[in-house]
Structure 1
Amino acid sequence: MKQPKGFEKFANKKKAGTVKEQYRKERREEKNERSSAIDQRFDEKRKERSNQAETPKGHFPRNAPAPASKSGFKKSSTQAERSARYDASSDKPMRPVAPASGRSSTKRTAIPLEKNIAADNMSYRDRDPNLQSAGAQMPLNKYIAHCGICARRDAAALVKEGGVTVNGKPVTEPGFKVTDKDEIKLNGKRITISKNLVYILLNKPKDYITTTEDPQGRKTVLDLIKTATTERVYPIGRLDRNTSGVLLFTNDGDLAQTLSHPKHEVKKIYEVTLDRPLTKHDFDTIANGITLEDGFVTPDAMGYADPKDKTVIGIEIHSGRNRIVRRIFEHMKYDVRGLDRVMYAGLTKKNVTRGKWRFLNEREVRLLKHFNKSAKK
Structure 2
Amino acid sequence: MKKQSGFEKFIKGKKKAGTVKEEIRQEKRKLRKEIEEKKKDRFKFQNPEYKPQQEGKGSSRFTIKKTKTSRDQSERPERRTSSNFRTQSSKSMHNASEPVKKTFGAKKPDLKITKTQNQQSDQMPLNKYIAHCGVCSRRDAAEVVKSGKVKVNGELITEPGHKVSLDDAVIVAGKKVHPVKNLVYILLNKPKDYITTTDDPQKRKTVLDLINQATQERVYPVGRLDRNTSGVLLLTNDGDLSQKLTHPSNEIRKIYAVTLDKPLEKKHFEEILKGVTLEDGVANIDVLAYSDSKDKTQIGVELHSGRNRIVRRIFEHFGYDVKNLDRVMFAGLTKKNVQRGKWRFLSEKEVRELKYFRKGK
User: Under TM normalisation by the shorter chain, which class is it?
Assistant: 0.5 to 0.7
Offset from partner CA, 1:31-73 (integer Å, 9 cap, x none): xxxxxxxxxxxxxxxxxxxxxxxxxxx9x97x999xxxxx968
CA RMSD of aligned residues (A): 2.5
Q: What corresponds to 2:331 in structure 1?
A: 345
Distance in structure 2 (CA, Å) of the matches to 1:144 and 1:316: 32
Q: What corresponds to 1:101 in structure 2?
A: none
Confirm or deny that 1:333 pairs with 2:354. Answer: no
Higher Rg of the two aligned structures: 2
Q: In the superposition, relative to structure 1, how do residues 216 and 374 fare at CA in structure 2: closer, same or farther (>3 Å)?
A: closer
Confirm or deny that 1:305 pairs with 2:300. Answer: no
Paired residue for 2:346, among 343, 353, 360?
360
Paired residue for 1:208, among 184, 194, 202?
194
Distance in structure 2 (CA, Å) of the matches to 1:296 and 1:284: 15
**One-letter amino acid of the counterpart of residue 292, structure 1:** L
Distance in structure 1 (CA, Å) of the matches to 2:317 and 2:334: 28
Offset from partner CA, 1:145-190 (integer Å, 9 cap, x none): 0000001111011111111111111111111111111111112211
Q: What corresponds to 1:316 in structure 2?
A: 302
Confirm or deny that 1:247 pairs with 2:233. Answer: yes
Q: In the superposition, relative to structure 1, how do residues 300 and 322 fare at CA in structure 2: closer, same or farther (>3 Å)?
A: same
Offset from partner CA, 1:65-113 (integer Å, 9 cap, x none): 9xxxxx9688xxxxxx9xxxxxxxxxxxxxxxxxxxxxxxxxxxxxxxx
Q: Specify which structure has the bigger relative contact order, considering alpha-carbon pairs within 8 angstroms and separated by 6 or more residues.
A: 1
Paired residue for 1:194, among 180, 186, 196?
180
Offset from partner CA, 1:243-271 (integer Å, 9 cap, x none): 00000001111110011011111000000
Q: In the superposition, relative to structure 1, how do residues 333 and 316 fare at CA in structure 2: closer, same or farther (>3 Å)?
A: same
Offset from partner CA, 1:269-312 (integer Å, 9 cap, x none): 00000001111111111111110111111101110011111110
Q: What corresponds to 2:151 in structure 1?
A: 165
Matches within 5 A, 1:90-129: none
Q: What corresponds to 2:53 in structure 1?
A: none
Distance in structure 1 (CA, Å) of the matches to 2:247 and 2:273: 24
Offset from partner CA, 1:326-360 (integer Å, 9 cap, x none): 00000010010000000000010000000000000
Q: In the superposition, relative to structure 1, how do residues 326 and 374 fare at CA in structure 2: closer, same or farther (>3 Å)?
A: closer
**One-letter amino acid of the counterpart of residue 176, structure 2:** R
Q: What corresponds to 2:251 in structure 1?
A: 265
Matches within 5 A, 1:13-162: 136-162=122-148
Contact 2:268 2:318 in 1 (8 A): yes
Contact 1:267 1:344 in 2 (8 A): yes
Q: What corresponds to 1:226 in structure 2?
A: 212
Confirm or deny that 1:290 pairs with 2:276. Answer: yes
* Secondary structure, aligned partner of 1:372: coil
Per the TM alignment, residue 133 of structure 1 is displaced from its structure 2 partner at its CA by 9.3
Distance in structure 2 (CA, Å) of the matches to 1:147 and 1:372: 26
* Secondary structure, aligned partner of 1:358: strand
Contact 1:134 1:180 in 2 (8 A): no
Distance in structure 2 (CA, Å) of the matches to 1:160 and 1:364: 34
Contact 2:195 2:204 in 1 (8 A): yes
* Unaligned 5+ runs, structure 1: 1-57, 66-70, 75-80, 82-131
**One-letter amino acid of the counterpart of residue 371, structure 1:** F
**One-letter amino acid of the counterpart of residue 275, structure 2:** G
Contact 2:253 2:360 in 1 (8 A): no
Q: What corresponds to 1:280 in structure 2?
A: 266
Offset from partner CA, 1:107-135 (integer Å, 9 cap, x none): xxxxxxxxxxxxxxxxxxxxxxxxx9997
Offset from partner CA, 1:177-217 (integer Å, 9 cap, x none): 11111111112211000011111100000000000011111
Percent of paired sites with the same residue? 65
Contact 1:135 1:180 in 2 (8 A): no
Distance in structure 2 (CA, Å) of the matches to 1:187 and 1:203: 31
Q: In the superposition, relative to structure 1, how do residues 157 and 374 fare at CA in structure 2: closer, same or farther (>3 Å)?
A: closer
**One-letter amino acid of the counterpart of residue 189, structure 2:** N
Q: In the superposition, relative to structure 1, how do residues 202 and 286 fare at CA in structure 2: closer, same or farther (>3 Å)?
A: same
Q: In the superposition, relative to structure 1, how do residues 313 and 374 fare at CA in structure 2: closer, same or farther (>3 Å)?
A: closer
Confirm or deny that 1:370 pairs with 2:339. Answer: no
Under a length normalisation based on structure 1, what TM-score does the superposition of the two structures give?
0.64
Q: In the superposition, relative to structure 1, how do residues 356 and 133 fare at CA in structure 2: closer, same or farther (>3 Å)?
A: farther
Distance in structure 1 (CA, Å) of the matches to 2:172 and 2:264: 49
Per the TM alignment, residue 372 of structure 1 is displaced from its structure 2 partner at its CA by 2.5
